[in-house]
Amino acid sequence: MRALAAMIFAVLALAQAARAQPLDLTKGGAIELTWRDESEVRDQEKTATVTGDARAVRGNVTVLADRLVAHYRKKAGGGSDAGNEIYRLEAHGHVRIVTPTDEAVGDAAVYDIDQAVLVMTGSTLRLTTPQQTLTARDSLEYWSEKRMAVARGAAVVVTSDGRRIAADTLVGYTAPPKSDQPAPPKADPAAASGTLERVEAYGNVEVRTTSDTGRADRGLYVAALDSAWLLGNVRLSASNGMQMKVDAAVANKKTGIFRTVNNPGNRAQGMIPPSVGKPPPVAAPAPVNKLKP
């Protein structure tokens, strides 16, 4: 049973590892564009396109691509002499978005600064942090104001110590930094992102450690409770051959308690191989050398 509980605790470990700097272009000064080859400004359409090693920088976030398209407008409330501001940025071809801690990679990206939403798409979607790597098939999204990240389509997180969680959709929420806490030192840029508050996994959820596997319809982690759940058609398999099928399983890291729950009328199923629970064999006593008189 301890091996099965350890597998559920892997969800906690994955969640607690997700501490990184957000890919947020809504804060900072003006967005600075640089490029190598060509630029084109269409004032009627209010777009500026730059190509060739194109870069957009704002604060600690840098967007790199083959081509960048910036949608701009007059700044609000500034009168006829007001300058322009970029409210939407599109990136095409070999897109990379980097911060001091993270790197997101895809074929294309759109950042709606008004809505504070970044959506990346492509066949090579990947987000790398110091502790883990997240991949997805359909899209990676970051919602700055909601402090929410979403990976859609065969989403997979792999940690540096070999844990893995996969689902059709993974959603993570971070808590805002507490106002009564001092600002983090510049040497720790990851601390500026806030702590992970909640993780939700939907559809074909699979959690693996180096030795155990759990599958379910849904998964959930809540930081305030220090607990993780697997919900719906839960199947647990341990490396020693133990297996269990239940409706739900929950593990609390703080208390070390692991529980399974069944809906009324349902019966749990389990299998314990013959080798589990047997006492270890007793070693034969070492021979004693007798002294002759």
Distance CA 20, CA 63 (A): 17
Q: What is the mean pLDDT of the chain?
A: 83
- Which pLDDT belongs to residue 185? 44
pLDDT band at 49 (very low <50, low <70, confident <90, very high): very high
Question: In terms of pTM, does the model score above 0.85?
Answer: no
Structure tokens at 231: 């919900």
**Residue 78 neighbours by CB under 8 Å, 6+ apart:** none
Residue pointed to by tokens 């492509």: 122
Calculate what percentage of the chain has a pLDDT beyond 90.
Answer: 44
pLDDT(206) > 90: yes
Q: What are the distances in angstroms from CA 275 to CA 58, 105, 143, 236, 281? A: 60, 47, 50, 18, 12
User: Which of helix, strand or coil describes residue 87?
Assistant: strand
pLDDT(212) > 90: no
Segment 265-288, tens digit of pLDDT: 888 777 777 765 556 666 656 565
| 216/21: higher pLDDT | 216
pLDDT(186) > 70: no
- Which pLDDT belongs to residue 23? 83
- Which pLDDT belongs to residue 183? 47
Segment 97-111, tens digit of pLDDT: 999 988 999 999 999
**Residue 57 neighbours by CB under 8 Å, 6+ apart:** 31, 32, 34, 63
- Which pLDDT belongs to residue 21? 58
Q: Which of 33-47, 108-122, 244-258, 261-275 has the lowest mean pLDDT?
A: 261-275
Distance CA 52, CA 38 (A): 7
pLDDT band at 63 (very low <50, low <70, confident <90, very high): very high
Structure tokens at 58: 């704002």
Q: Which of 83-97, 100-114, 191-205 has the lowest mean pLDDT?
A: 191-205
Q: What is the mean pLDDT of residues 35-40?
A: 97
pLDDT(291) > 60: no
| 26 and 144 Cβ atoms separated by less than 8 Å | yes
Helix (H) or strand (E) holding 234: strand 227-237
In order of start, what are the domains of the chain with their CATH numbers? 1-15+129-182+192-278 (2.60.450.10), 21-115 (no CATH)
Structure tokens at 88: 């939407």
- Which pLDDT belongs to residue 81? 60
- Which pLDDT belongs to residue 179? 55
Amino acid identity of 245?
A: K
Distance CA 208, CA 181 (A): 36
**Residue 166 neighbours by CB under 8 Å, 6+ apart:** 154, 155, 156, 157, 204, 205, 206
Segment 13-27, tens digit of pLDDT: 555 554 445 788 888
- Which pLDDT belongs to residue 274? 72
- CA-wise closest residue to 15 among 256, 213, 251: 251
